[in-house]
């Protein structure tokens, strides 16, 4: 363990104007094909702010106005019971935990709709909720918090917080719902520039970094060569690459992968620390909903493991979203080790 003692510190569903993102689950089909997710948006039938569209829409995306009544085909599998369950049962169970990981595939729109519905479902059952996100980095916490508090505009927030390219469609609904409830939103990730520096030079970069930068990462790092390392290395695949700087030998590849793994661990430790801090410093009964790429929480590894190490005695629940081509031929049992609940979604059709 590397221990550095430094301070750390969303077309036509109309509702009354000025009601912000009131997510409602309309119809559920028990363990079969999916749910109707109704999403009501502030200023119905009005376009989203230009700043949001500019900052959050991918190239070529159709213009956004309001959220819609959307059919979200999915099936939920409870790995402990060994059976499919309905979405509302998942919500009942999830609301009983202390930390809820939502492990996503970043490019799956149904996953994002169901994540928003999950957050709303938790909100119907729990008062003290914190939304924590991989998609915001620690140095974006101030503009994020200022926006939630209403002291800066959404345009200013987006300009300062470096949102992910698909923020408007994928993550804004969750942030806006949290804002409407007065919940904190935690920018949990290490800044990309620091993660990139570690990927190039290893953990030694923190021996010489400034105090300000050091506070943007976790206090402690663990990077054991365990099953998580094996998964990471396998995922990296062939690192030989091209060009004069590409690794030429297996040994050189191992060095490159190890530094990249250290960068991955820094992300996991930083997000895990943020989750633990939200629980420790929050009101009694706080539940943290953490949104991240599934690699960070699948098999209860990565960020999930780092958070659990810091939260002895707290219940940590893993939900893994798994896009599939066919919801009728799922071999869920063979994937049960991914987490506590598997939410299989109908993957978008691939362009021909």
Domain boundaries, the chain: 2-193+262-346
What pLDDT sits at residue 66? 35
Q: Are 136 and 188 in contact (CB under 8 A)?
A: yes
| Whether the Cβ atoms of residue 60 and residue 313 lie closer than 8 Å to each other | no
For 228-281, write each residue's pLDDT tens digit. Answer: 999 999 998 755 455 556 676 888 888 999 999 999 999 999 999 999 999 999
Alpha-carbon separation of residue 68 from 10, 15, 36, 41, 307 (angstroms) = 8, 12, 10, 9, 35
Is the distance from CB of 186 to CB of 139 less than 8 angstroms?
Answer: no
**Token reading at 42:** 């502030």
Q: What are phi and psi of 17, to 5 degrees?
A: -65, 155
DSSP 207: G
Q: Which pLDDT score, from 0 to 100, does residue 335 have?
A: 97
Contact 90, 343 (CB under 8 A): yes
Token duo for residue 219: 């206090």
pLDDT of residue 253: 84
pLDDT at 250: 81
Q: Judging by DSSP bridges, how do beta strands 34-40 and 185-189 pair with one another? A: unpaired
pLDDT of the residue at 154: 97
Give 257's DSSP letter.
H
pLDDT of residue 33: 36
**Any alpha helices (H) in the chain, and if so which ranges?**
50-56, 87-94, 109-123, 141-149, 154-161, 167-170, 172-181, 192-201, 211-214, 227-236, 250-281, 303-310
Supply the pLDDT for residue 237.
Answer: 73
Structural domain 2-193+262-346, CATH architecture: 3-Layer(aba) Sandwich (3.40)
Residues of the chain with confidence (pLDDT) below 50: 1-47, 53-69, 240
Q: Does the pTM exceed 0.85?
A: no
The residue among 20, 18, 290, 17 whose CA lies nearest residue 176 is 20
d(CA 285, CA 279): 8
Query: What pLDDT sits at residue 169?
Result: 95
Cα separation, 124 vs 118, whole angstroms: 10
Residue 182, number of CB atoms within 10 A of its CB: 10
- Give the three-class secondary structure for 138: helix
């Amino acid at each position: 363990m590397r221990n550095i003692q430094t301070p750390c510190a969303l077309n036509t569903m109309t509702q009354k104007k000025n009601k912000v993102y009131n997510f409602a689950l309309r119809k559920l089909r028990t363990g079969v094909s999916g749910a109707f997710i109704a999403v009501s948006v502030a200023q119905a039938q009005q376009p989203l702010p230009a700043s949001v569209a500019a900052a959050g829409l991918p190239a070529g995306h159709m213009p956004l106005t309001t959220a819609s009544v959307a059919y979200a085909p999915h099936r939920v599998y409870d790995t402990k019971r060994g059976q499919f369950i309905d979405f509302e049962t998942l919500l009942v169970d999830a609301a009983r935990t202390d930390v809820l990981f939502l492990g996503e595939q970043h490019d799956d729109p149904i996953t994002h709709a169901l994540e928003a519905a999950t957050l709303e479902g938790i909100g119907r059952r729990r008062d003290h909720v914190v939304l924590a996100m991989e998609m915001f980095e620690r140095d974006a916490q101030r503009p994020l918090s200022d926006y939630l508090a209403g002291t800066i505009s959404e345009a200013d927030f987006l300009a300062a917080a470096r949102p992910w390219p698909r923020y408007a469609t994928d993550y804004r609904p969750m942030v806006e719902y949290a804002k409407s409830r007065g919940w904190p939103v935690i920018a949990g990730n290490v800044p990309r520039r620091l993660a990139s520096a570690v990927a190039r030079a290893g953990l030694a970069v923190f021996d010489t970094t400034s105090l300000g930068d050091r506070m943007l990462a976790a206090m402690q790092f663990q990077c054991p060569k365990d099953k998580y390392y094996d998964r990471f290395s396998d995922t990296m695949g062939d690192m030989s690459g091209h060009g004069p700087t590409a690794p030429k030998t297996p040994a050189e590849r191992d060095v490159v992968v190890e530094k990249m793994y250290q960068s991955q661990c820094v992300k996991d430790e930083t997000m895990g620390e943020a989750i633990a801090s939200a629980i420790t410093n929050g009101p009694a009964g706080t539940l943290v909903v953490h949104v991240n790429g599934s690699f960070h929480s699948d098999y209860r590894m990565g960020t999930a493991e780092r958070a659990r190490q810091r939260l002895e005695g707290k219940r940590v629940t893993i939900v893994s979203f798994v896009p599939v081509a066919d919801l009728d031929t799922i071999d869920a049992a063979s994937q049960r080790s991914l987490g506590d609940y598997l939410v299989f979604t109908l993957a978008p059709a691939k362009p021909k």
